[in-house]
Amino acid sequence: MFEPLDKLLTNPIRLMVMSVLVKVDSCDFNYLKKMTNSTQGNLSIQLKRLFENNYISITKSFEKNYPKTSCRITKTGATAFASHFKALQSYKNLDL
């Protein structure tokens, strides 16, 4: 039986962000931008979507007069990612 996929995580940028955040304690915006190879605007939108769904928490601070955005995965996000990963594995042998 195939488990349903999380629609929010089928987007490659959001999935990449969640995959990084699940591995780390905290991560800054520039690293996520480098990892996802996306534009600042696009990444901001995707982060906002994840934040609105309580998948991540966002902390804004200043470092040497420059704004710094740090992201962390929340418990909801970690649970959703684990469920999504489990669902993906159930599709693994299916040739799509």
CB of 84 to other proteins, least distance (A): 8
Q: Is 15 in the site for other proteins (CB under 8 A)?
A: yes
Q: Kindly state the helix (H) or strand (E) to which residue 21 belongs, with its residue range.
A: helix 12-23
Q: Which residues of 3-26 are buried (b: 16+ CB within 10 A; e: fewer)?
A: eeebebbeeebbbbbbebbeeeee
CB of 54 to other proteins, least distance (A): 21
Q: Which positions from 50 to 89 touch other proteins by CB under 8 A, shown as an x/- string?
A: -------------x---------------------x--xx
Q: Is 39 in the site for other proteins (CB under 8 A)?
A: no
Query: Of the candidates 1, 4, 5, 37, which one interacts with other proteins according to CB under 8 A?
Result: 5
Residue 44 CB partners (closer than 8 Å, separation 6+):
none
